[in-house]
Amino acid sequence: MSKKQTIYQELSYIIDFKVFLYLGLMKRPIIFIALIFLIFSGSLYSQETTEKNYNTFSEFLTEQNTKISSIEIGHSLVQVKEIMGASIIVKVPKIGKMKPLSQLFKQPEFTKITTDKAKNEITILWYFSTPKDQNGLMSKSECTPIVIKNDSVAGKGTKFYLNFMKKEQIRF
């Protein structure tokens, strides 16, 4: 083999190696982007909303409180979410001097996941139940908390929540 052929062969190996590295690096961003897409497409699916018309806002509140009342101790997190349903856009027509309403109510409005001293997972879900300020902003004081310990409803309501957090010595 001549010196020229050897140099060309070495250059060929170097170029092949660089092309290999380039293609290898090009595949990683594609895989990364595909992974990100899959993660976010799952979260978009879980934030599904429905739209529902009510004659009055109190009709919506009655339905919401009936759902909360049907949640029992021992229900799983999945069962609670099935009972309460997806986030909802509540539509109420104009009645008298009241303006028409078209507002999103998340199901749940707030979520907190923590652990107690024994490392049991505690999930607290707050569902809108009692309007107070009527300023369009949701606060936890307008919601009913559902306390779930190790995937089982431990109780519900503000009084239960406060006692549970104090008894379990969980900061909130």
Of residues 19 and 98, which shows the higher confidence score?
98
pLDDT at 1 over 60: no
Per-residue pLDDT averaged across 109-117, rounded?
Answer: 93
pLDDT of residue 30: 58
C-alpha–C-alpha distance, residues 137 and 158, integer Å:
19
Domain positions in the chain are 1-46, 49-167
Q: How many residues does the chain have?
A: 172
pLDDT of residue 45: 45
**Mean pLDDT, the chain, whole residue set:** 82
* pLDDT, tens digit, 9 for 90 and up, residues 49-101: 899 999 998 999 999 999 999 999 999 999 999 999 999 999 999 888 878 88
pLDDT of residue 16: 56
Of residues 109 and 12, which shows the higher confidence score?
109
Of residues 74 and 4, which shows the higher confidence score?
74
HSE (side-chain half, CA atoms, 13 Å) at 72: 2
Per-residue pLDDT averaged across 22-49, rounded?
Answer: 56
pLDDT of residue 106: 93
